[in-house]
Structure 1
Amino acid sequence: MGDCYNCRYCKDSLHGKKYILRENNQYCIKCYENLYSNTCEDCKAPIGSNCKDLSYKDHHWHEQCFKCAKCGHPLAEKPFAAKDDNLLCMECYSDEYSSKCFNCKKTIMPGSRKMEYKGNSWHETCFACERCQQPIGIKPFIPKENANYCVPCYEKQFAHHCSSCKKAITTGGVTYHDLPWHRECFLCTGCKMQLTGQHFTSRDDFPYCLDCFRNLFSKKCVACSQAIAGFGSSKYVSFEDRQWHNDCFNCNKCAISLVGQGFLSKRDAVLCPECGRDV
């Protein structure tokens, strides 16, 4: 039984002494600490068997050495964060590295929900509508002058309302006679075609596409019965409350053009002087 109570490493007798059992072998305290104790990351001394060994990612500390690298407060049994091989309490980590709320200017603690928009951050409860003060969350919102608004509040406070459907215009829109319209609501009074981006004219302050205006209001050519537009470079001849397209103002008998020429009128017909003598 001589070796049964000896230190496995130095062979000293363990009778009446404290020892540590490891893998069914007993060691005196000194040998165990020399062979197996971890080195403290802070003080670089061995972590003895009578001390708590606190570890994080294969690194070890004495309990009293496991502390915040900035403020020195103990971290045992407290939440902490690691940054560049340093351990920091949550307060120091937040002050140093966490985002500040754009609204209340306080730190947004790690792990808490935050909202981000155009490089700024908010606490979830601070990201609220400027008008109703309700948190916006994931709902649609509209930014204006460093403030954010939920859509209903923005429409009530800022948006123009369409002259046609009376609903708020939140983006784009068309102005006609100093009145706002949704692009999709600005329609021809006659055929209801959308007029945005199209040529149009008006009558009695109502907008019309060019085709409808011609058909509804333009004078009709006596010869072809088609509308005489009266827009742009359109040319026509008018005589005794009757109108002709330039190309249609021809002698009713020989069809020669009468534009810029003398002519005779016989009842509803117009004739060149030559044909007029024969009638």
Structure 2
Amino acid sequence: MGKKICAKCDKEFQPGESVLTALDKPWHVSCFVCAKCNKPFGGGGSCVLENGKPMHEDCSKAQFEDDSGTCDACDKTLGNGEPTVELGDGSQYHQSCFKCNVCDKPFDKKSPYHVKVNGKPCHTKCADVADDVTEKIIRNNKECTKCGKTITSGVKVVPGVGSFHAECFACDTCGCELSGKYFIHPKTEKPNCKPCVDKFVKKWDRNKEEREAKK
């Protein structure tokens, strides 16, 4: 039988030493604490996992906000399944918040983002009628994960997946352009639209039931 090693400190348990089993792993009692605040869990011992580490729910939320940053338009936390639009000057937006400051319409292939007016993103045509253009085109110079070409304006950054042109960020199954929230396919682990993920899950559940019925 192999020796037990603590999930936090990687030290071997000594004979007679208490072993706390949580999250399917062994811990020293003193080691099973929140990875952010370093305090023990309450009487119920409940916790959540953040990047594989145990945390209090409030600490996990705070850590997510620290790691993700905030949207420059609405000041709310980025992430939560919605692509982030990142500009070359370091500013970041929820995809749904990335709109022209003059006409309040989203950017697309026909009316792309190219300039900032007084620090706010605008369509080129809208900037022409603004009082003054304070910043010219801002380039990201990142390579698109899908097509490999350089991205020269707003880039969709999908955590753990890559960076994309707006038109390249599409469902990996049906090819439809993804807008708003995206969903990770359980098998391929690539961005998909909700209908394609739902279809796969239903098929998977149906096949599972058939396999169990044959046993």
TM-score using structure 2 length: 0.39
Q: State the structure with more CA Rg.
A: 1
TM-score using structure 1 length: 0.32
Greater RCO (CA < 8 Å, at least 6 residues apart): 2
